[in-house]
Structure 1
Amino acid sequence: MDVLGLLADGFATSLTPLNLLVLTLGVTAGLFIGAMPGLGSVNGVAILLPMTFIVPPTSAIIFLAAVYYGAMYGGAISSILLGIPGASTAVATTFDGRPMAMQGKAGLALIAAAVASFVGGTVSVILFTIFAAPLAEMALAFGPAEEFALVLLAFTTFVGLGGDDVVKTLLMILLGLVLSTVGLDMISGQPRLIFFDMPGFYSGISFLILAIGVYGVGEVLWTIEETRGKPSVMTARIGFRDMIAGVKALRGSIKAMSIGSVLGFFVGVLPAAGATPAALMAYGLARSGSKTPERFGKGAIEGVAAPESANNAASTGSLLPMLTLGIPGSPTTALLLGGMVMWGLMPGPMLFIEQPEFVWGLISSLYTANVVAVAVNIALIPLFVWALRTPFAVLSAVVLTLCIIGGYAPAQKMHDVWLIVGFGLAAFALRKAEYPMAPLVLALIARLNADPDVHGILVQLPLPAHIDADLVINAISAAKDVDGFHIENVGRLGAGLKAMVPCTPLGSLMLLRYRLGDL
């Protein structure tokens, strides 16, 4: 079936009443989350992730993607009205958005941001639709070695997400890998890293609990400490005439929006690049390509249009490697990836074959989310102005309550609540010491040592002439999913008995040597 046919089937999925409802709720929640300084898309998705258990998997991921999309739109609101970006992705918007607000043009700036976000989002979704299927088809040719190499590539991109301090980033990756081993071994049933012999650790550490603790509790504590005073909020009332005036004013920003849309998408596709550098790059290119660069920084509407189109395009672009290759393009898409895994949806090229209704339903929902986001954004601007006047003490209490409820509800164990609090306090302390949080959560999701493709790599190794592939397969058949190097297994496998300890690449190689001494 061609792409247009698949997309049409996707709309049949995404436009059902339930999916339209969750999409609208997700976009609206995302707009508020993006507009609130100190929250942002990563924290919003982490906090709202537990609420998706009440709907089917496709609806759940559409909701989370809509929260992500809405938060990207909402980041411009506080950038313009407060001069404080709701997230780092909206930093460049403050350069000209805040001066416009100070000049009494807050409404015009908000309209420009919303329309530019719509343009960037729409262009990027079209590009996503064009490139998704070919990239997934190419990835289908990958064997186990290539798949495992992709996991290694994912870990190298995690280093980029951690900032300039590579050592601290690597330490956080290692910590995430250690946390991923907590619990009972899935083959032998042997306990691993059961801290203080607490029963709750026997089931392992949930990605959901870690994400809520780090991005919910930890970020709220960080924002409370970093907030100094309360900046003034500019008023903004937008009528129909203001919307028409805003659209007309953007006619001179078509070049800036085009640059931001295309650049943002391709920067977003790069793992670990993200929307923030895309927005800053688009702002710089728009300024350098302008006939009047001296206006930038003083309230130029192009200075709002370029970064807003870029950061929304980048958010869509970051979904492409996640869906087609299983490599998250940003911290938020890493949380989406974790949510998909929780629902039994394994990102990668096979997802396009095994779950086409989900994949194309999600892609088509991005088109709808753009329309809903721009409409809700403009309609609720007075409400956003009111919300921004809410004391952060009240907002933080609401967020912390949602974190506790969201962590307790899935398993209804107080152990999870204490873990959330513990992870939140630890994340706050590590953040103060300038340790990055994204690599920690990403490493827990990736679980390099549990990747199933390590089992298939061995049959692709160069073999001696007198040993064929069938002989190797027969030699390791008893060792599938078990560790042939483990002292408990060597004797058992040699005697033809069932082994008990999971497989590692080293263990499988040593088992081959044990069974085929001249290999």
Structure 2
Amino acid sequence: MEELSNLLNGFAVAMTVPNLGYMLIGITLGVLIGVLPGLGGANGIAILLPLTFSMNPTSAIIMLSCIYWGALFGGAITSILFNIPGEPWSVATTFDGYPMAQKGQAAQALTAAFTSSFVGALFAVLLITFLAPLLAKFALKFGPAEFFAVQLLTFCSFVGMSKEPPAKVIAAMMLGFALAAVGMDTVTGQLRMTYGQPELLKGFDFLIAVIGLFGIGEILLTMEEGLAFKGKTARINLKVVFETWATLPRYWLTFLRSTAIGCWMGITPGGATPASFMSYGMARRMSKDPQGFGKGNLEGVIAPETAAHAAGTSALLPMLTLGIPGSPTAAVLLGGLMIWGLQPGPMLFVEHKDFVWGLIASMYTGNIVGLLVVLTTVPFWAGFLRIPFSVIAPVIVVICAIGAYTVHSSMFDVIMMMVFGVLGYLFKKLKYPLAPLVLALVLGDMAEASFRQAMLLSQGSLSIFWANPLVGSIAGLAVALLLWPLLGSARGYFKPKEAVA
């Protein structure tokens, strides 16, 4: 089978000594990022991305993706031991993980969380291994109209499926489109919204924006909240690990259901956070003991962790095959690929086969390494949390500033990083989502180029977007998702109201 042959070649790339070293470094940094509230997978990758510019793209993407796997693992540690979600998707883990720690079962809860994360990621990587080549071959038939329809579907999916109010999602996305339009028009050569500033001729650099929005914005918000770490200690030994593993097979249905939810929410732009909450809710609804949830039920740890890892991993499938990120972290990785001169999409599987399959192989080995690292180093990370956040935060800000400066060796970029940091802080305070803004900033130019090419081919006629069944079905689905919130509101409006006594 061609996929297995390519995967074996990918392991030959991923298993070289330098790449294994980068994998271990990435996992360790990722666990640290996941443990520290105020950071996260997308934030950590955005901050550390400039440090990979001197590396070859394969080693760089392996290290950055392993940072993401490590962050997914690390978020469970603070949730279970300290009742502080290290990551947004770890909130659901606190519901039963922390009560288990209070009952002296922290080691069991952590073992179940790490193992569930590994299982969810493994199923998602298998999905990528066998589905990505088929999807890439199918996407080779796409023209400008089809690519714009897929990009429109992605934008509309964020509106229709986001838990945030549609108006806020659209507002964030419009701001992202406006930022993406700054600079020189690649078609006409005219300047747009530069206001005489030579620094803006190339537009807003994606990397500067995400370092500010995610890194600085999160730090400002976390410093305002004034976190104090008080929690339980845990030490995992082999006896506890094997005893916990012996009990996990009885939850096989929860694993399957949570993996399915996670993979679906990763491929569609749902993300790990809604996947974890949805999986937790389904587990509680389907459980024989729903009253035990929230009081230290092991199933309440398994469900969200499995779904979060499956969603986080499967989000790379549309990013690699179509150039459409399924999560904020995938959007940051997409920007990194474009900086290295690699265009995500179906041609990536043809022109850079070693790169793609090396990355997929590293997903297998990276998650195995991640599971071993977190199982053996929990006491260290728990002790690290006792360092005052007032000491850690300035260090992170300095790292962000260095990362922003190294992009173009310009102080203007550092200033813009701070501006985007304040914008990210305001977005979080006002509860506006950042993911649509980042998505529009990354895909805005690509969507505009695809649309204008389609218009040139059709001589200005919009009928090209329903000229054949493929583009028509994609565009139709996009419109349906865009209107989905309105349909939900209409159903609620026309629903018969109960009489008030």
Instruction: Give the TM-score normalised by structure 2.
Output: 0.87
1:146-157 aligned at under 5 Å gives the runs: 146-157=146-157
2:157–2:268 Cα contact (<8 Å) kept: no
Compared CA separation, residues 459 and 306, structure 1 to 2 (3 A): same
Deviation at 1:385, TM superposition (A): 0.5
Aligned residue in 1 for 2:78: 78
What residue in structure 2 maps to residue 134 of structure 1? 134
- What SS does the aligned partner of 2:38 have? coil
Match of 1:204 in 2: 203
State the match for 2:231 in structure 1: 233
Distance 1:251 1:165, change over 3 A: closer
Give a deviation string over 1:134-187, Cα, whole Å, max 9, x none: 111111122221112112222223435764332232222222222223234446
Conserved in 1, the CA contact under 8 Å of 2:216 and 2:397?
A: yes
**Equivalent residue, structure 2, for 1:254:** 252
Unaligned 5+ segments in structure 1 are 465-519
CA contact (8 A) 1:23 1:369 kept: yes
Look up the equivalent residue of 2:354 and give its one-letter code: E
Amino acid across the alignment from 1:291: K
Residue 442 of structure 2: SS of its match in structure 1? helix
Asked which structure has the greater CA Rg, the reply is: 1
Number of the residue aligned with 1:339: 336
How far is the alpha carbon of 1:83 from its aligned partner?
A: 0.8
Shift of 1:73: 1.1
Structure ranking higher on relative contact order (CA contacts 8 Å, 6+ apart)? 2
**Aligned AA (1:225):** E
**Does the aligned pair in 2 maintain the 1:82–1:234 contact within 8 Å?**
yes
Contact map agreement 2:180 2:445 (CA 8 A) in 1:
no
d(CA) in 1 for partners of 2:161, 2:215: 19
Of 427, 439, 443, which residue of structure 1 is paired with 2:440? Answer: 443
Change in Cα spacing, 1:167 to 1:263, as seen in structure 2 (3 Å) is closer
Say whether the 8 Å CA contact 1:172–1:435 is kept in structure 2: yes
**Structure 1 residue 231: deviation in Å?**
4.2
Structure 2 Cα separation of the partners of residues 463 and 406 of structure 1: 43
Q: How far did 1:450 drift?
A: 6.2
Query: Residue 270 in 1 paired to residue 268 in 2?
Result: yes
| AA aligned opposite 1:446 | L
Check 1:188–1:120 CA distance in 2 against 1; reply closer, same or farther (3 A cut): closer
Bigger Cα displacement from structure 2, 404-413 vs 171-180: 171-180
Q: Once the two structures are aligned, what percentage of the paired residues are identical?
A: 47
Write the distance in 2 (CA, Å) between the matches of 1:401 and 1:455.
Answer: 41
Q: In the superposition, relative to structure 1, how do residues 459 and 134 fare at CA in structure 2: closer, same or farther (>3 Å)?
A: same
What residue identity is the alignment partner of 2:422? L
The one-letter code matched in structure 2 to 1:249 is: T
Give secondary structure in 1 for the equivalent of 2:28: helix
1-structure distance, mates of 2:451, 2:173? 20
SS in 2 for 1:205: coil
Which 5+ residue runs of structure 2 have no aligned equivalent? 462-501
- Is the CA contact 1:253–1:301 (under 8 Å) kept in the aligned structure 2? no
The aligned residue for residue 363 of structure 1 is 360
- Give the drift of 1:16: 1.6
Aligned pairs for 1:119-518 within 5 A: 119-159=119-159, 163-186=163-186, 190-195=190-195, 197-227=196-226, 230-271=228-269, 273-448=270-445, 451-454=448-451, 456-458=453-455, 461=458
Deviations 1:438-482 (A, max 9, x none): 222221111247644345425754999xxxxxxxxxxxxxxxxxx
Distance 2:445 2:460 in 1: 26
> Which moves more between the two structures, 182-191 or 206-215?
182-191
Q: 1:387-432, CA deviations, whole angstroms, 9 ceiling, x for partnerless residues?
A: 1112111111111011001011122111111111111122222332
Cα 1:421–1:290 change in 2 (3 A) is: same
Note closer, same or farther for the CA distance 1:226–1:161 as it changes in structure 2 (3 Å cut).
farther
Deviations 1:199-232 (A, max 9, x none): 32233211000010111111110111133x5241
Query: Structure 1, residues 333-367: CA drift from partner, whole Å, max 9, x if none?
Result: 11111111111111111111111111111111100
How far apart, CA to CA, are the structure 2 residues paired with 1:33 and 1:267? Answer: 23
| Separation (CA, whole Å) in 1 of partners of 2:39 and 2:421 | 14
Corresponding residue for 1:510?
Answer: none
Q: Structure 1 counterpart of 2:11, which letter?
A: F
State how 1:88-127 maps to structure 2 within 5 Å. Answer: 88-127=88-127
Post-superposition CA distance 1:12-69 (Å, at most 9, x none) = 1111222211111111111111111221212111111111112111111111111111
State the distance in 1 between where 2:413 and 2:169 align. Answer: 26
AA aligned to 2:54 is I
User: Is the 8 Å Cα contact of residues 181 and 445 (structure 2) preserved in structure 1?
Assistant: no
With over 3 angstroms needed to count, the CA separation of the structure-2 counterparts of 1:179 and 1:393, relative to structure 1, is: same
1:251-302 CA-to-partner distances (Å, cap 9, x unmatched) read: 333332232223311222112x111222222222323333333322211111
Number of residue pairs the alignment of both structures matches: 461
AA partner of residue 437 (structure 1)? L
Q: 1:160 to 1:63 in 2, by over 3 A?
A: farther
The corresponding residue for 2:57 is: 57
CA contact (8 A) 1:162 1:438 kept: no
Kept in 2, the 8 Å contact 1:99–1:298? The answer is yes
SS of the residue corresponding to residue 55 of structure 1 reads: coil
1-side partners of 2:91 and 2:193: how far apart?
41
Q: Partners of 1:330 and 1:15 in 2: how far apart?
A: 27
Residues 229, 386 of structure 2: 8 Å contact kept? no
